[in-house]
Structure 1
Amino acid sequence: MVFLRPIPTISAGREKIRRGQILSERVSIIIPTELKQDLETLKSRMHLDLSTLIRLLLAGSVQEKKLDIAVEEYKTCKKSLGKSAEFANLSLWEFIDELHKRTVGLAISPADIEDEIRRIDEGEYDQYIPK
């Protein structure tokens, strides 16, 4: 017979912490009435509760903003290709595809090439090799 113990959760202020990681945090905002009405409409059409809908929309918006910033930093040579991809939470190849979609050319420096060779040697891209 196997007994499963629940993972201990402790409260720290308004945060819930499990194994040293913050699971969630309460945030309060004031929004315009029109936006609230739009959220209610989306909530009904998507069959979601309001909190879940807002979390989904916010997560998507944050990811899109991070991608916009990463592309801009790469375009203006403030960050390397690898660092920009990492900030955008994309693989290098996904980030290159995104640059292509946005008609941003590649400017690969010798340091970028060395970094990619190191990553290949360390097996970081092995998951993409067909077996």
Structure 2
Amino acid sequence: MVTWFEIPVSDMQRAKAFYEAVFDVTIDLHNFGGMEMGWFPQREGEPIATGTLIKQESYIPSTEGTLVYFASNDVQLELERVEKAGGKIFQTKTQISPEHGFMGVFLDTEGNRVALHSLK
């Protein structure tokens, strides 16, 4: 049911560099009347939600509130890039259950809590 998410940032260039390093993707920057957005790439042919980094005064980075989960082939791959990119590991790779796979959580450079999920 989720179609879009927005991750608040204080420093768009710092956040862009962090997420590009962790996920090995390119984030496209857009400006809509003073609201800065960094769009995550859409995976062709995959019915998954995508979203944006967003910098605007009403968006405040936080470790509280909704937790966004990014899909991964193996949570450990992204977790290994987090600290090198300036973030912190909040929860190491943890098995949810044999049927539901694994999760991990990190704090990004902006102070947001973000999660990862993989089946292996």
Instruction: Give TM class, smaller chain.
Output: under 0.3
Larger Rg: 1 or 2? 1
TM-score, scaled relative to structure 1: 0.25
- Greater fraction of residues in helix: 1
- Greater fraction of residues in strand: 2
TM-score, scaled relative to structure 2: 0.26
Greater RCO, 1 or 2 (C-alpha within 8 Å, sep 6+): 2
